[in-house]
């Protein structure tokens, strides 16, 4: 097993994270619906984390959170992703450690919900549920079964609706 630590993302990690995204998602990543939301504005570095090797420098994985809102209701929350772990290091708990840290950070930041596009079997142990079909959209096609939400406050999942778009960090 590889020893690793979770740390806040800093600017020093950006080029390694770009390379990790290229490795994990390939050139098609730019056309993904969630990417189109994320290109509308920056992620929140205070809520984004890296997994580092024992040397404290080598990047093993990354997860980012970006503030969003849903256009029909104005419900503000966070979009999780990309979550990626380097090839050759998968299956050692790095992804789940990053996910746990980001969910905890989102809760501490007072975010009402976290939305993501992903595989439910991986995310449901962290409280992510399928969103009812048609309730939210993104600027690109998304398999409805992969729209997942984790409510961090009561009723937060019921408040979302419409097109997902980037939103600034709440004041």
Ligand X SMILES: CC(C)(COP(=O)(O)OP(=O)(O)OC[C@H]1O[C@@H](n2cnc3c(N)ncnc32)[C@H](O)[C@@H]1OP(=O)(O)O)[C@@H](O)C(=O)NCCC(=O)NCCS
Which residues sit at the interface with ligand X, rule CB under 6 A?
A: 24, 83-85, 90-96, 118-119, 121-122
Closest approach, Cβ 125 to ligand X, in A, equals 10
Question: Which positions ≥6 away from 38 have C-beta within 8 Å?
Answer: 64, 66, 79, 81, 166
* CB of residue 94 to ligand X, shortest distance in Å: 4
The residue (of 126 and 158) whose beta carbon lies closer to ligand X is: 126
Cβ contacts of 158 within 8 Å, gap of 6 or more = none
Q: CA 146 to CA 157: how far, in whole Å?
A: 15
* Residue 85 or 103 having the CB closest to ligand X: 85
Q: Which residue is nearest to ligand X (CB)?
A: 95
Q: Give me the least distance between CB of 46 and ligand X, in Å please.
A: 21
How far apart are the C-alpha atoms of 171 and 169, rounded to whole Å?
Answer: 6
């Amino acid at each position: 097993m590889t020893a690793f630590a979770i740390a806040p993302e800093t600017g020093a990690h950006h080029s390694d994270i770009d390379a990790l995204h290229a490795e994990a998602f390939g050139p098609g990543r730019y056309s993904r619906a969630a990417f189109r939301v994320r290109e509308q504005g920056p992620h929140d570095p205070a809520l984004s984390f890296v997994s580092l090797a024992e040397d404290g420098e080598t990047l093993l994985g990354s997860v980012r959170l970006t503030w969003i809102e849903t256009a029909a209701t104005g419900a503000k929350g966070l979009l999780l992703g990309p979550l990626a772990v380097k090839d050759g290091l998968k299956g050692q708990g790095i992804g789940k450690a990053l996910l746990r840290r980001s969910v905890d950070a989102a809760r501490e930041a007072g975010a009402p919900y976290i939305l993501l596009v992903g595989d439910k079997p991986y995310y449901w142990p962290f409280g992510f549920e399928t969103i009812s079909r048609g309730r939210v959209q993104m600027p690109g096609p998304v398999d409805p079964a992969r729209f997942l939400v984790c409510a961090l406050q009561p009723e937060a999942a019921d408040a979302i609706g419409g097109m997902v778009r980037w939103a600034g960090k709440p004041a």
